[in-house]
A and B are shown apart, each in its own frame.
Chain A
């Protein structure tokens, strides 16, 4: 199992989500994608996207003021 890291800090929405969709498309089944982001709106859009796509979220937390990290697994 591999964790791929996508750093999107500094990018405004919807770029973190756009990048996440691109990145996960190239992943092997079972691999995880960790997305670090600081766009507030993505705290709603990223977990909602994962839920809609049926991707399990293995980790979702704050990493500081206005910074977050979420890890989703490609089924």
Chain B
């Protein structure tokens, strides 16, 4: 039944594309625009998923908790990954959904990411990753560390996130509404392929998809939720070894994201093969490769760690989430710092047209 992964992945890809849900953008906004609206939306996906995951755990459908905390790898890998996503122009899921929109730069970043993840997980980089991940603290989750019920943390997370979302929704309501594109469609076609999705509504949809991932993946013997990095490495490993065992629910999930975002983009007239300039090619290549290295070390990307790991209160999840945010801040300084202080060569000056 690994085909449920393909269906759920397609739903995820569709929601990411239509909702313009970009975790890199959310992290970058914190540093570049000093805005937390998209970060708050990202927290909504964590909070929704957290409540759902622990409900499934309580019902005995899945089993959470246990494990150790590879603290060194979480910090180091998180920093590298957070840094890399700014250059790659998207995190793992962002790169998948943009690849489905026809962005060649994202195809390059995606290839680099999957290749580097395979090198670090199954190839010559594996001993380094193992050594780094061997540096561990004995307790793996925040609630076991604090000695409280996970529901205490779920309650704190849901309350805090709810307050932040409420704050942003009220701010949105108080401002003039952003102008929308003229509508060309009606009915269901407009709802699916034209109407802009609210950031917080998109976040709830993605959170629900994240909840559904647990039992669907568990049923096939893959005992985890949404994940991008290991499946991407598995695609490369399968293509180079022919080992069919590697094609699991997670592989179907990531392929589904491509399919879903392509359908969403094509259906809404937003698919076009877009070839980047030389500088973007270099950034996508370097960023993609570094992303794979960082995610393999950290044990997950913005989804596996920052979203699912945080939702299940693993220390690896929260610590690498914080490290990613810091890494993004560092890269923003390097990429946009020089631009902002203004080298005229880097800026495309507007042409003036008399009217």
Interface residues of A (CB under 8 A from B): 1-8, 10-14, 18-19, 22-23, 33, 38, 40-41, 43-44, 47-48, 50-52, 54, 57, 60-62, 64-68, 70
Whether A50 pairs with B271 at a CB distance below 8 angstroms is no
26 pairs from A and B in contact (CB 8 Å cutoff) = A1-B355, A2-B353, A2-B354, A5-B350, A5-B353, A6-B350, A7-B351, A10-B275, A10-B277, A10-B280, A13-B22, A18-B336, A18-B340, A22-B342, A23-B349, A38-B272, A38-B274, A40-B101, A44-B196, A47-B180, A50-B178, A51-B177, A51-B178, A61-B181, A66-B269, A68-B181
Whether B348 pairs with A8 at a CB distance below 8 angstroms is yes
Task: Indicate which residue in B33, B103, B177, B352 contacts A12 across the interface (CB closer than 8 Å).
Answer: B103
B283 CB to closest chain A CB, in angstroms?
9
- What residues of chain A lie closer than 8 Å to B349, measured between beta carbons? 23
Task: Name B199's closest neighbour in chain A (CB-CB).
Answer: A44
- What residues of chain B lie closer than 8 Å to A51, measured between beta carbons? 175-179
Q: A65 to B32: give the CA distance in the assembly, Å.
A: 29
Whether B355 pairs with A2 at a CB distance below 8 angstroms is yes
Q: A2 to B269: give the CA distance in the assembly, Å.
A: 31
- What residues of chain B lie closer than 8 Å to A13, measured between beta carbons? 22, 25, 89
Whether A18 pairs with B180 at a CB distance below 8 angstroms is no
Please judge, given known A-B contacts A2-B353, A66-B272, whether A19 and B25 are in contact too, CB under 8 Å: no
- What residues of chain B lie closer than 8 Å to A57, measured between beta carbons? 179
Q: Is the interface of A mostly helix, strand, loop or mixed?
A: mixed
Whether B20 pairs with A44 at a CB distance below 8 angstroms is yes
Whether A67 pairs with B351 at a CB distance below 8 angstroms is no
Whether B25 pairs with A14 at a CB distance below 8 angstroms is yes
Within B332-355, the residues touching A (CB, 8 Å) are: 336, 339-340, 342, 347-355
